[in-house]
Structure 1
């Protein structure tokens, strides 16, 4: 949505099946969004609050996320929960980061002492992934004991290739199409693609793709 509030959509409350999940569609002023969040903060029947990102241009993402009660911040985006995560304390962890860790665990991929490249530095995805992968397993929020290098979309290609070629695990979350190519991946490496980009095909249709050039990378054994 743009900054012209004449085109704003009024708030809606939508019930999702019978699982106790409700969606409030509030595309309006930042003040109204925060007011609704504060109302839900005070509602004892509400266990958790998620803010659908990205927010419209005229709204501050940080102000909205910080308006959520940290104890109901199931996304883990409040600065208090992010701060706890940096200290590896028990807290809400952003779901994408937790999903990457769970994927690694369930796949039986070793991380202790391994080299991992996390390509992406966002506070909601890349940074939390790196924090979970590099930290001490003896913490309240157990880490994965890896040696982690953080790169991002503006890391020079030669430098990115230098680090990723040494990596036992590559996790990419930048939203840059074909950022990770076959010449950046060593045989036997685990590659996890978290990027999401909508592109147009030659047929004029759209499809979702990740950061990894899948067709070339999948050939590396």
Structure 2
């Protein structure tokens, strides 16, 4: 029987553990604080930020939300980040992407204090990750690791193929999976739009992570029998629904399920884990900034 990983259930378990960590910090007078910054009028971005703020409230993190007009100059966003960097009530800063075209994303990410960069995108934190000493693991790759752990899938010695080389998922996940540490030690291949014969790579893998942003890219013909399949993709495709679309992953779920041993659905797989690991990083940041040892789930 194929096991369908319930990301909501795993995320709930992590959030429950974080509540204990937050209580422990509270006993020493510290309440973790997460600032979300929105400079967008995109409904999806507004929804994502709203969900993150709700998550904070539910576990006991102090949520601070700042909205900046989408037409405002980039300097206003940078000034806001500078203020949050020096605010002792703020342990983590998340600037919701994407940003308007007139704003340099890299300049914004570099402006965040690395100690408060709970996304793990600042060059200093990227360097620590590559060096095998991550301060904050990027949320989605860390969530993938936690899902594998929950499924008792050990990457040690496994052949893992990641389809997609983004800075947010593909690159950091490759680093996490091949590091010489628990949750790593895999032999990792990163595939992308220039990869020749993608199916030959994925069909030889024990673990396949689809993160290319292409609906239904991976089907059962591209997988080995008994593979573990983690679908990071979230794509809106036209459908006869009230919204006029439905969400689908990069994996053709029904077809892939016929050969996979473990598989994640979309929605309800990796997505909830990304949000849970943001909370995780915020709690970790609070401990680091106050020099308090915190047990994390």
1:192 aligns with 2:230: yes
1:85 aligns with 2:125: no
Secondary structure, counterpart of 1:50 in structure 2: strand
Q: 2:221 matched to which residue of 1?
A: 183
Query: Could you tell me how far apart the structure 2 residues matched to 1:154 and 1:220 are?
Result: 26
Which residue, out of 225, 247, 255, partners 1:216?
255
Q: 2:79 matched to which residue of 1?
A: 35
1:25 aligns with 2:67: yes
Higher helix share: 2
CA positional deviation for 1:62: 0.8
Query: Could you tell me how far apart the structure 2 residues matched to 1:211 and 1:84 are?
Result: 30
Which 10-residue stretch deviates more, 105-114 or 161-170?
105-114
Q: Which structure 2 residue ranges, 5 or more long, are not aligned? A: 1-39, 42-49, 261-297
Q: 1:117 matched to which residue of 2?
A: 161
The one-character-per-residue Cα deviations of 1:139-191 (angstroms, maximum 9, x if unpaired) are xxx551000000023424xx211110110000011111111121110110000
Q: 1:207 matched to which residue of 2?
A: 246
Query: Could you tell me how far apart the structure 2 residues matched to 1:196 and 1:155 are?
Result: 22
CA positional deviation for 1:90: 3.3
1:56 aligns with 2:100: yes
The answer on whether the counterparts of 2:156 and 2:185 sit within 8 Å (CA) in structure 1 is: yes
Structure 1 runs of 4+ with >6 Å offset: none
**TM-score, reference length from structure 2:** 0.65
Q: 1:162 matched to which residue of 2?
A: 200
CA positional deviation for 1:25: 1.5
Secondary structure, counterpart of 2:259 in structure 1: coil
CA positional deviation for 1:112: 1.2
Root-mean-square deviation (CA, aligned residues, Å) is: 1.9
Secondary structure, counterpart of 1:105 in structure 2: helix
Higher relative CO (Cα under 8 Å, sequence separation at least 6) belongs to: 2
